[in-house]
Chains A and B, each alone.
Chain A
């Protein structure tokens, strides 16, 4: 698809902000915009097929269940899971990670054990492990990040010991935008008998994810960062592990039998992890989002994105006032996501000024306070691009940033 055709699918991109300026939306790493196909699908579930799934025998319930389970199969196919039973719908990547931290942690992590994360993780892949560690008397260790933002993965080998029970890493950091060598990390961890959870919140958007090829044990992501509606999260887990894990939340749907005197037995996966009424409009909309994401994974779209990445990197690197976090090198590539700081100009000021030029960027700690501490900053400014962003928008960002910096220093 040509860029203007891609854009025509996203109604919101034609709106204006800041007194009539065209919207330049560069906060895609926080949430992406939604194509009308996804919006229509979500609406059609409410208009035509709204019923609670799995239980009732009437027509609407059967149709809603088909849509929901069809979405599960589509997700499985999209990430090449061995079976749709390995796909659990959650509210988002955060809920997916919490499910593993609680459930796997409950069963397999105890006093004196440790979990390894990285210094570049989003709080969602740190805090659930810290909470588990404090419940169990375990500890959380981390792989450090070097000056350019690369994981010092050679340290993983020595960090893993006989008490390591999980390695939890992001596929792509939401701040650095570098594609981590997940396969290599999985190989190292598995060599020592340690399972790996991958936070794929950014990875699912930018990489062709094949969970069997990566061989990770868990892969967590959020649909809303990839054109779907909010609360359409996914937890992929290897079935052999999911089968051994206790439920996280208890309630309807996740049971086999319930007795007040003989106790409760649980449904097989994935039902065991889907307590309560699910996002029965959102999941089918996620299937539409996946269809759309596939359409965007063409050579043509990829090359255009690479041009944008190269242009923005070059412009930012040329500007001596700017420091970029996450510089690609060797085999480690970068997605079109740029976190920067400017000596003498505060990230919040830059973002406020850019906002009034119609340019939406993110500022602050970006839910990665340990990484901010690592680089000695209170926050950063981040511009993150999607396939519907144009080269003209990249130029507007570069020019706008220059003007904002000049206003401030």
Chain B
């Protein structure tokens, strides 16, 4: 398995090919549509991160060595970003997750989508990934 740095470097490279913002969104929409289905029964209150904008559901499992994340959103661009986060962080050890600074999101120009003022579930999603890693470390 490639390292977090290798995975994020590939994502940054992909995004650097898009000059136009709308093209970036087109790509994220594709990723969002292709995201592995999230089980309806796991769309529980407990897993729900409720925002003023989109809703995000996040479920995690720790197998003793690695953390596995599943997530979903009712908004497709957010699903696209979720897809990126899962490709980077799911199946990693807590130590690997905690050693990363999550800066790739900023490097592909999506920081504004994650600003707390957006009041969506993504900020909380990143916080949750971090804190789950902290709990399992």
Q: Do A and B come from one complex?
A: yes
Interface residues of A (CB under 8 A from B): 18-19, 346-349, 351-353, 356-357, 363-365, 378-379, 407-408
**Is the beta-carbon distance between A379 and B29 smaller than 8 angstroms?**
no
CB of B36 within 8 Å of the partner chain: no
Give the number of residues in B that approach A within 8 Å (Cβ atoms): 18
CB of B25 within 8 Å of the partner chain: yes
Q: Which candidate, B8-16, B72-80, B92-100, B123-131, is the interface stretch facing chain A?
A: B72-80
Q: For A356, what are the chain B residues with a Cβ–Cβ distance below 8 Å?
A: 21-22, 25
Q: Please name 20 further chain A to chain B contacts, defined as beta carbons within 8 Å, in addition to the given A378-B55, A407-B25, sorted by A numbering.
A: A18-B21, A19-B20, A19-B21, A346-B74, A346-B75, A346-B76, A347-B53, A349-B77, A352-B25, A352-B113, A353-B22, A353-B25, A364-B52, A364-B119, A378-B74, A379-B52, A379-B53, A407-B22, A407-B26, A408-B29
**CA of A346 to CA of B77 in the docked complex: distance in angstroms?**
9
How far, in Å, is A161 (CB) from chain B's closest CB?
A: 35
A363-B53, A364-B53, A378-B55 in contact; A348/B21 too (CB < 8 A)? no
CB of B83 within 8 Å of the partner chain: no
CB of B87 within 8 Å of the partner chain: no
**CA of A407 to CA of B25 in the docked complex: distance in angstroms?**
9
How far, in Å, is B127 (CB) from chain A's closest CB?
A: 19
**Is the beta-carbon distance between B25 and A348 smaller than 8 angstroms?**
no
Residue of B20, B22, B26, B77 near A348 (CB, 8 A) is B77
How far, in Å, is B65 (CB) from chain A's closest CB?
A: 36
A363-B53, A365-B52, A379-B52 in contact; A349/B22 too (CB < 8 A)? no
Q: For B120, what are the chain A residues with a Cβ–Cβ distance below 8 Å?
A: 348
How far, in Å, is B120 (CB) from chain A's closest CB?
A: 7
Q: For B76, what are the chain A residues with a Cβ–Cβ distance below 8 Å?
A: 346, 349, 408
CB of B54 within 8 Å of the partner chain: yes
How far, in Å, is A253 (CB) from chain B's closest CB?
A: 34
For this complex, 21 residue pairs linking A to B, each with C-beta atoms less than 8 Å apart, are A346-B74, A346-B76, A348-B54, A348-B75, A348-B77, A349-B77, A349-B78, A351-B53, A352-B77, A352-B113, A353-B77, A356-B21, A357-B22, A364-B52, A365-B52, A378-B55, A379-B52, A379-B53, A407-B22, A408-B29, A408-B76
How far, in Å, is A20 (CB) from chain B's closest CB?
A: 11
CB-CB nearest 3 A-B residue pairs: A346-B75, A356-B21, A348-B53
Residue of A351, A352, A408 with highest tally of chain B CB at under 10 A: A352
How far, in Å, is A396 (CB) from chain B's closest CB?
A: 14
**CA of A250 to CA of B18 in the docked complex: distance in angstroms?**
58
Q: For A349, what are the chain B residues with a Cβ–Cβ distance below 8 Å?
A: 29, 75-78
**Is the beta-carbon distance between B29 and A407 smaller than 8 angstroms?**
yes
Residues 2-61 (chain B) with a chain A CB within 8 angstroms:
20-22, 25-26, 29, 52-55
Please, which residue of chain A has its CB at the minimum distance from the CB of B113?
Answer: A352
How far, in Å, is B66 (CB) from chain A's closest CB?
A: 31
**CA of A407 to CA of B22 in the docked complex: distance in angstroms?**
9
